[in-house]
Chains A and B, each alone.
Chain A
């Protein structure tokens, strides 16, 4: 006979102080040693926790009315110089985690504003409005704290990914991504999520996590209010939409952050209780880090479909190194395991002390998801569409004088240096100008040997970013075989972008 418990029965046990609560890590140990059937008998609730960067986060703030009143709705609002969304009623705004400061850039953003609010710090509001008969005021500047607000509701459209990915970088440049800094030539692996502590890995069938599930959020209690955007449970990528009251939260669990070169975000602490209704739930809640696999993706390929190098388990990721092409590569979790554990522990204590009861979801989350790509109506031009195909090249043994003549005759700035049909360097008009009087004779002496190149099938925008990063104005273009087929310059790209506008 299979045993069945209801959430109501579990709540009764919690109230009587008889419920058995384990954290997800404790549950894994129990299920591994005693099996799911016995675990289902012994355990009532498993607590989870995660503390990671969740960019799709933000808060609705209601200021109350000024005198004379102002209609921020449709106007502009800045919180500590970070723009907030005002397309709402007169005195409601939404401050999103990724908005960045006008004056401080990525070092301070919406996530930091939310943290500072929770810390009880004073925030400056600057608002501008167009003025109406009922809301005549055009401008406002004031200082407020969390306490001064009528409501401050964290409302996050996509949090708490069931599992995420691990990221590495095959290219020869450091990448600044939402997965942190990725060093060149597979220099490191960064991954997100807390493995078996991740809430949605414990209930992958969404039997108990649904609309109305009460959760730990940011140190207070909140609710799951629906499936998150991009909810895609079939591929193990379910997400949640959640809300919570900032006034209950603690700055320990709500932290603004900057991913250098990428942007601002918010670290959110979330913990979800999983009622163990039967053996099947116990089995899912007992899956270990060895059994949870995620994709290791190569972010060195700047395309939407990044190549999956292989599947990698959380156990391997947490070991501190993973193997790529026979090389040991160090790993970093981007979610805090220590904080995730702390959240699972706190939630466990709340339930044990009867302060936190489980809620019955009013509706289950969709079991299937929609994860389409953006509908695009423009074709992104490739390098081959804009590059100069007429190739003027020189050889390493050619003289500086010859190079000057070529550059002048063809009015070009970049002279690829070719030896036996292969690109070996590049000389620019700047290189020539700065070599005058230094006694150099051949191009081999002055050419740049580590040439930044473009591939003919790369999108122009990617190459434009590369030129900007290296502070250069052109790059030789190679085809798939590595042969020199053209040159692309910032002039070529400007002409294209000029046409776009």
Chain B
């Protein structure tokens, strides 16, 4: 087959019954794929986990189906975030609100965006006084 690998972010929604089960661990073990947890907010009431995975489209499809078969809602996050360097003044107002350190300063105190870590929480787009950060939904 040899399909090209892509990086996808997947939103997993757990309900109260599933929150205690080792579902993520099961999928990692079964698929042998490295699922990187970007963000997790989960308690006895259920919650959400956002993972990123680098895999072929077929493998991603397989992961989605496996989560679903275990009662976890799974969907691919089809969004993108961009930083308009023309508008940005490098004040850094976005940095302390970012939950995943997707936004940070370079050595030269320039704001840098690492989309791979972004979970599209939108806190930065609201915090930016210059409206330099924007989220776009991909179709």
How near does chain B come to A270, taking the closest CB pair, in angstroms? 14
How near does chain B come to A256, taking the closest CB pair, in angstroms? 9
Task: Say whether B115 faces chain A, with CB atoms less than 8 Å apart.
Answer: no
Interface segment, one of B17-25, B61-69, B75-83, B88-96: B88-96
Would you call B90 and A337 a contact (CB within 8 A)? yes
Would you call B105 and A335 a contact (CB within 8 A)? no
Q: Which of A260-293 contact B (CB under 8 A)?
A: 260, 265, 267
How many residues of A are in contact with the other chain, CB < 8 A?
31
Q: Which among B95, B109, B127 has the highest number of chain A CB atoms within 10 Å? A: B127
Known A-B contacts A258-B131, A265-B129; the reply to A338 vs B108 at CB < 8 A is yes
User: Which of A258, A259, A330 is B96 in contact with, Cβ under 8 Å?
Assistant: A330
B residues less than 8 Å from A190 (CB atoms): 93, 96
Known A-B contacts A53-B129, A258-B131, A265-B129; the reply to A334 vs B93 at CB < 8 A is yes
Would you call A189 and B96 a contact (CB within 8 A)? yes
Interface 1/0 per residue, B50-65 and A, CB below 8 Å:
0000000000000000
User: How many Å lie between the Cα of A337 and that of B89 in the bound state?
Assistant: 9
Task: Say whether A359 faces chain B, with CB atoms less than 8 Å apart.
Answer: no
How many residues of B are in contact with the other chain, CB < 8 A?
21
Chain B: CB-nearest residue to A255 = B89
Task: Say whether A333 faces chain B, with CB atoms less than 8 Å apart.
Answer: yes
Q: Which among B93, B95, B98, B110 has the highest number of chain A CB atoms within 10 Å? A: B93
Would you call A259 and B94 a contact (CB within 8 A)? no
Q: DSSP class of B's interface residues: helix, strand, loop or mixed? A: loop
How near does chain B come to A472, taking the closest CB pair, in angstroms? 21
Would you call B92 and A333 a contact (CB within 8 A)? yes
How near does chain A come to B124, taking the closest CB pair, in angstroms? 9
Task: Say whether B113 faces chain A, with CB atoms less than 8 Å apart.
Answer: no
Q: DSSP class of A's interface residues: helix, strand, loop or mixed? A: strand
Task: Say whether B130 faces chain A, with CB atoms less than 8 Å apart.
Answer: yes
User: How many Å lie between the Cα of A258 and that of B127 in the bound state?
Assistant: 9
User: How many Å lie between the Cα of A260 and that of B89 in the bound state?
Assistant: 17
Task: Say whether B84 faces chain A, with CB atoms less than 8 Å apart.
Answer: no
User: How many Å lie between the Cα of A309 and that of B122 in the bound state?
Assistant: 29
Interface 1/0 per residue, B99-115 and A, CB below 8 Å:
00000110011100000
Can you report 12 residue pairs joining A to B where beta carbons are below 8 Å apart?
A180-B93, A188-B97, A255-B89, A260-B127, A320-B105, A330-B95, A332-B93, A332-B95, A334-B91, A337-B90, A338-B109, A339-B89
Pick the 9 closest A-B CB pairs, nearest first: A188-B96, A332-B96, A257-B129, A338-B90, A338-B109, A330-B96, A337-B109, A336-B91, A181-B127
Residues of A within 8 A of B (CB): 51-53, 107, 180-181, 183, 187-190, 255, 257-260, 265, 267, 320, 329-339, 341
